Amino acid sequence: MIGGMLQLYNQLSRLRRRHDATLSQTLAVVQSEKGSAAATRSLRAAEDAIAEGLLTPEDPNLARLMDELGKHRMEQHLLGPFAEIARYVQLVRKGDIAPGTAVGMGVKPGTRVEGLPDVGIRELEIDAYYMTRAGVLVAEEVKASPRAFVRKMDAQRKAGEGEEPDWPKAMKQPGRYGEWAQAGADGPPREVRYFIQSDEPFFGEMLNPEMLKELLAKLPASTPFEIGGHSMTLGDLLQLANRKEAILQARHKLPELSGMTKPDINHQLLDNVEMTLTNLARLEEALAHAP
């Protein structure tokens, strides 16, 4: 029991140190007094829970940490560095983890994780690495929000307006995940998963057919995405993206969309999953009856 407590404490402390600089920068850019106070309270509560070193799966401090991380929706976007810590806590506290194995965070080749094989793929860093009770070895990419996911995928886009992303560079990490999934044929089955803590803001930005097709070249259409509690696959996202694209191409027929830019549509109509599903169906119906 004590060993497990120390292991969890050390893992969370390592993640906290890893993200220290980013957390400081994040807090520095919180603009409003209310936002700053809420972010500071959540950060302090999380640090206190970690520092207490009593974070076992049964300990009420885990519930406290999860409550503080999720209490203010704003923090799901502003405190992105907490996404990995929050996911680690979820997996340890409620996750489907095989007995005798541990959950590794930020795992690279050579990182030892109890009960799991070495990552083995050069330059691959897995956000969450674990084995399910069914014996599936999972490599999970963890992001705080849809916008954080898009920025990672589209990280090579240059600052100039209208310039295209450098997909070969942007898809290096997904390519490494795909390579990992194909390796280890003599071991347990492997699966790449994406966990996105919140389904907003700008869920519509994820519905980029070109980006998703590039991702499909690296990973199967069945790749699971959990987005703010909504379960989808990469194929599902591409279907939504194609529906969105069809509406964009015919938006001149819909007065509601007149004068709206793509960012406007992504934010005002497709900001989260439920909004997207509702508005896509509504706009498709309107388009079907448009002159």
**What is the H or E stretch that residue 152 is in?**
helix 146-153
* pLDDT level of residue 274 (50, 70, 90 thresholds): very high
Residue 39 lies in a domain: yes
Residue 88 lies in a domain: no
- Average pLDDT taken over every residue of the chain: 78
The most distant pair of C-alpha atoms in the chain lies apart, rounded to whole Å, by 70
CB-based contacts of 225, cutoff 8 Å, min separation 6: 193, 194, 196, 231, 232, 233, 234, 236, 237
Residues 122 and 39 in one domain: no
The boundaries of the domain holding residue 43 are 1-81
Residue that wins the pLDDT comparison between 113 and 30:
113
Residues 159 and 233 in one domain: yes
Residues 123 and 74 in one domain: no
Residues 50 and 107 in one domain: no
Question: Using one digit for the tens of pLDDT, what is the confidence trace for 220-256?
Answer: 999 999 999 899 999 999 999 999 999 999 998 999 9
Dihedral-angle region of residue 130 (phi above 0 means left; psi in -120 to 50 means alpha; beta otherwise): beta
- The helix, strand and coil proportions of the chain, stated in percent and rounded to the nearest 5, come to 55, 10, 35
Among 79, 97, 80, CA closest to 8: 97
Residue 87 lies in a domain: no
Residues 100 and 59 in one domain: no
What confidence score (pLDDT) does residue 221 get?
97
Residue 264 lies in a domain: yes
Residues 104 and 231 in one domain: yes
* pTM, full prediction: 0.76
Residues 43 and 128 in one domain: no
Residue 90 lies in a domain: no
What confidence score (pLDDT) does residue 168 get?
84
**What is the number of domains present in the chain?**
2
Boundary residue ending a domain (31, 57, 81): 81
What confidence score (pLDDT) does residue 246 get?
95
Among 229, 219, 241, CA closest to 195: 229
Residue 91 lies in a domain: no
Residues 57 and 124 in one domain: no
